[in-house]
Amino acid sequence: MDIMANSLLAAGASPAMVHAIEEILEFTSLSSALCINIGTLSPDWIFSMKAAAIRANECQKPWVLDPVGVGATRFRTEKCIELINLKPCVIRGNASEIMAVVGASIAPTKGVDSSRSSTDALEAAKDLARVAQTVVAVSGAVDLVTDGKRVLGVSNGVALMQRITATGCAVTALIAAFVSVNPNRVLESTAIALALFGLAGELGAEKANGPASLRMHLIDALHMLDEQSVMNRVRIAQL
């Protein structure tokens, strides 16, 4: 939650990390977007997640799902599928997670670490996007974003970002913020969020000595992004 909230603040958004059912409906109604992350599961939190997703749909607010570690246990996978049935506008995960969601992986996932490349999961992502009527983002060396028909590839980022816990969670939260600003272009908003977060990682890596310092410099770089850096260094391609 820490890096998610700080990444949102650095990008100019205003995060609230809310779990209690007593306030989740009110907060969801007030928000511009909802991000649901299943990294930590408990019966109370699952109930709140579902209630928030339902309220977001009622209020026509975009909501984004991060299926952290789906496929690692039957319980986690079942709850993830139940949330997908509540119609998120974006699902972002690593290749193993996306493949596990669609039943394409016969082996348990590595949890939050991916044992597959994003290109391995492309067809699974397109199938999921079509069936769930959503946009699916697959993080990897090249991030892939698809609505089931179109596919965008995002080539920003550095490998060292994988050594910082919850960078995937942070970029999912950033996707929710970007989609809230431009809800009619969910595919493009998702790709841009991935690209800017990756670019911040590249800029941060120029000053970092390792994962811990990269975490600090990444958030600083996200805060300091300027138009020239974005125009010159963002790498998004239609595939």
Domain boundaries defined on the chain: 2-148+161-185
Lowest mean pLDDT among 118-127, 158-167, 193-202, 219-228: 118-127
Asked whether the predicted pLDDT for residue 48 surpasses 50, the reply is: yes
Question: 145: which strand partners?
Answer: 137, 152
The residue assigned the tokens 């800017």 is 196
Rounded distance, CA 84 to CA 90, Å? 10
Asked whether the predicted pLDDT for residue 112 surpasses 60, the reply is: no
For range 17-22, the mean pLDDT: 96
Give residue 31's identity as a one-letter amino acid code.
S
Q: What is the pTM of this model?
A: 0.93
Is residue 16 packed enough to be buried (19+ CB in 10 Å), middle (13-18) or exposed (0-12)? exposed
Using 50, 70 and 90 to split pLDDT, how confident is the model at 108? very low
For range 178-201, the mean pLDDT: 98
Q: CA nearest 36: which of 200, 195, 172?
A: 172
Phi and psi for 211 in degrees, rounded to 5?
A: -60, -40
Asked whether the predicted pLDDT for residue 97 surpasses 90, the reply is: yes
Q: For the chain, what's the residue count?
A: 239
Using 50, 70 and 90 to split pLDDT, how confident is the model at 120? confident
Using 50, 70 and 90 to split pLDDT, how confident is the model at 115? low
Task: Map residue 41 onto helix, strand or coil.
Answer: coil
The residue assigned the tokens 């089931």 is 148
Q: Which CATH superfamily is domain 2-148+161-185 in?
A: Ribokinase (3.40.1190.20)
Residue 184 DSSP code: T
Q: How far is CA 62 from the centre of its chain?
A: 13
Query: Structure tokens of 173?
Result: 């939260």
Rounded distance, CA 149 to CA 128, Å? 11
Q: What percent of the chain has pLDDT over 70?
A: 93
